[in-house]
Chains A and B, each alone.
Chain A
Amino acid sequence: MNLEAFIAGRQARWAELEARTSTLAQSRLRGLRADDVERFAILYRRAASDLAIARRDYPDQPITEYLNSLCGRAHVLLNRGSPPRIHNALSFFATGAPRAFRANAGYFLASLACLLSGTVAGWLAYLLRPDLRGVLVPDSLFAEMAQGSPGIGVPQPFLAAPSIFLHNIEVAVVVFVLGLCLGLPTALLIFLQGWSLGTLGAAVHAGGYDYAFWSLIAAHGVLELSVIVTAGAAGLRLGDALLRPGLRTRADALAEAGRETVGLLVATVLLLVIAGTLEAFVSPSSLPGGAKIAIGLGVGTCFYAWLLLAGRSPRARPGLVLDATPPAGPGAPTALPLGA
C-alpha cells in the first residue's frame, strides 16, 4: 500500500488515541466510563496492528517511529495491575506474607544460624577477652546492672518509641538491601547483632544479673530480633539469586527474588512499630520481670504462629483426591501401545 493512503485512512484514529492517551495519563482509571476504556483498548489494538504493518512496509519512515512511541505510551497505561487497596494489603497480611515466609524458610534458618553463631562467638569472645567488652557494650549499662536497676533511662517514651522503631526499620531495610552485595554484608550484620547479644549475655552472666537482663530485653527483643532475622533471610535470598541464578539470567533471578520477598519484608518490618512501642513503654517500666518475659514469649508465639500456620490451604479431603493411577480390571481403559 502507498504510504499516503496508509496514513490517510488511519490518521484520525491515531489522533484520537493520542488525545485519549494524554487524558488517561492524567486521570485515574476509576473515573473512566466503561465505553471509554473499551474505545481506548480498540484504538490501541488497531494502532498496534498499524505499527506491525508500518514496521514491515515502511521501516525507516517517521510514521513508524511515531506509531511505536504512541503504542508504547498506550501500552504502559493499559498494562497495569490493580491499584493498592486496603483489602489487598489485609489479605496479603493474612495469607501472602506467611506463605512467602514458608517458601523462604531455608533462608530464615540460614539467617538464624548467622545470629546464633554470632551469639556464641560473642559469648566466647567475652570469656576469652573480658577486657574487650567495652567495644560493643557501654560500661554505663554494667554500672546500672550492678546497682540492680537495669531500666535504661527512657525519660520520654513518646520520643523514644519512634526513635527506636525508625532505627530498627532502618536496620532491617539496610540488612535486606545489602543482600544485593552477594548477601555477605547481610550475613555479617546479622552476625554482629548476635555478637553484641552474646557479649552482653556473657557479661551479665559473669556479673550474676541474668534474670534482670533477660527480663529487660525479652518483652521487645523476641519480636525485634525475629523481624531482623526475617529481613536478613530476604537479603540472603537476594544474594543467593545473584550467586546461584540457576537456569535463568542473574537479572531474572534477582527480579524474582525481589518480587517474592518484598511483601514479606514490608509486612514484618511494620511489626517493628509494635516492638519499638514495647521497648519504650513496657521494657523500662516497673512491671515484674516475669510479666515482661511472658509478654515477650506471647508476642513471639503470635509472630511465629502467624508465619507458620496462617494461609495454609485447607487439607484436601480424601473423597476429592483424584487418583492418578488408572483403575485396573477387565473393563478399565488401557493405554494404546506406542506405534499402534
Chain B
Amino acid sequence: MSAGYDTQRVTTADNVGISFRVAGLATRLTAAIFDGLILACILVVTTVLIVAIADAAGANGNGSSAIEIFSLAGYLLAAAWLLIIVLYFTVAQAVSGGKTPGKTVMGLRAIRVDGGTASLGAYFLRSAALIVDGLLGVGPVLMFFHPQSRRLGDLLAGTVVVRERTPVTLLAATAPSPVYLRSIDPGPAIDGLGNLGEHELLAVRTFLSRPGLQPDQRIELAGRLAGRLLDRMELPAGAPERMWPPELLLERLYLQLAPRFETAGPYPVYRLDLRAPQGARPPSVT
C-alpha cells in the first residue's frame, strides 16, 4: 500500500489512488517537543500533588511509617509518570482522531496505513511503544531510515503520521494560468472578429500562456496559428492584419476577443520579456 519515499499510497474502495504526504523526522520531533512541554507541566503538577499527599499522610504517623509512606510515594511517582505519558498520548489522539496538541500545531495526524482513522487500541499501542521508541531512543533511528518515517509504535499499531495541511488551495488550483503579453495595447480594431468564437480564443490564450517555448518554435507555431485564424476571419488578401508579425496579431486578437467571452473577469496578464531566462516556468495549459 506504500509507494516511494515520503508518501503513503492508499487505494480507496472505488480503486482510486490517494497519496498521503508523510511527515518527516524533523517535523515529528518538533511536534514531540510541543507535547513534551505540555507533559512536563502535567508531570510537575502530579509530582507536587503526590508529594503533598505523602507529606500530609506522613505527618500523622510516627517515624518509621513516615519513611514507608515516602518509599511508597516514590513507587507511586515512578509508575504515575510512565502511565501519565502513555495516557496523555492515547487520550489526546483518541479525542481528536489522531492529533496530539503538538501534532495539531504542526498540522500532522496519525492515520491507519489504509487511510482510515485509527482505533483506540492503535493509539494505545503507539503511545505504549514510546517506552521503546522514546526512552530507549529506537524511534528516531528507525524513522530516519524508514521510507515513511514510521517508528516502532507506528509499525506495531499499523499507523503512519501524515501532513494535513494542503499544499494547494482550491483558489490557487483553479486559478487560470496567466497570459504573457509584450504590450497591453489592443491596437486598431480588427475586421472579421465576429467569425471567431470561444474555441479560437482558447487556442490563442493557450499559446500566449506558454512563454517557455523556444523562440524559433514560438515563431513557427504563431505563424501556423495566425494563418488558420486569418482564414477563418476571411480577411481579403491585402488586409493590413496579414502584414503584422504573427505574434503581434495573436496578442491583439486576444486583447480584443477576451472582453467578449471572458465574463468571469480578465485573466491575469504578465508582461512577456523574452530575453529573461525561462528557468522557472509558470504552469501551462494543455
Contact = CB atoms under 8 A, between A and B. Distances in A.
A170 B174 contact: no
A55 B152 CA distance: 33
Interface string B18-30: 1111000000000
A170 B94 CA distance: 21
Interface of A (DSSP majority class)? helix
Nearest to A45: B14
Interface stretch (B31-39, B76-84, B222-230, B236-244): B76-84
Contacts of A65: 167-168, 173
A58 B283 CA distance: 11
A70 B54 CA distance: 53
Interface stretch (B155-163, B187-195, B212-220, B246-254): B155-163
Interface in A176-192: 176-178, 180-181
Contacts of B131: 173-174, 177-178
A79 B115 contact: yes
A48 B79 contact: no
Given A71-B16, A167-B76, A258-B158, A173 B128 contact: yes
Nearest to B111: A76
Contacts of A11: 170, 174
A258 B129 CA distance: 11
Given A66-B166, A75-B115, A80 B12 contact: no
A66 B65 CA distance: 66
A116 interface: no
Given A62-B168, A69-B167, A251 B155 contact: yes
Given A166-B83, A169-B79, A14 B170 contact: yes
Contacts of A77: 117
Interface in A10-59: 11, 14-15, 18, 25, 45, 48-49, 51-52, 55, 57-58
Nearest to A26: B96
Contact of B156 (A52, A79, A238): A238
Contacts of B112: 79
B186 interface: no
A333 to B, nearest CB: 39
A239 to B, nearest CB: 12
A145 to B, nearest CB: 18
B125 interface: yes
A2 B201 CA distance: 13
A7 interface: yes
B132 interface: yes
Contact of B57 (A68, A156, A259): A156
A323 interface: no
Nearest to B98: A76
B57 A62 contact: no
Contacts of A58: 286
Contacts of A80: 97, 116-117
B165 to A, nearest CB: 9
A14 B82 CA distance: 45
18 contacts: A48-B12, A49-B14, A61-B173, A62-B173, A68-B19, A72-B10, A72-B162, A75-B18, A76-B111, A153-B68, A156-B57, A164-B75, A170-B79, A174-B82, A181-B132, A251-B155, A258-B122, A262-B121
Interface of A: 2-4, 7, 11, 14-15, 18, 25, 45, 48-49, 51-52, 55, 57-58, 61-63, 65-73, 75-77, 79-81, 84, 153-156, 159-160, 162-164, 166-167, 169-170, 173-174, 176-178, 180-181, 238, 250-251, 254-255, 257-259, 262-263, 266
Nearest first, the 3 closest Cβ-Cβ pairs linking A and B are A79-B116, A80-B117, A255-B158
Given A66-B169, A156-B65, A177-B129, 12 more contacts: A11-B174, A48-B12, A48-B18, A61-B173, A75-B10, A162-B76, A176-B128, A178-B131, A238-B156, A255-B158, A257-B156, A262-B124
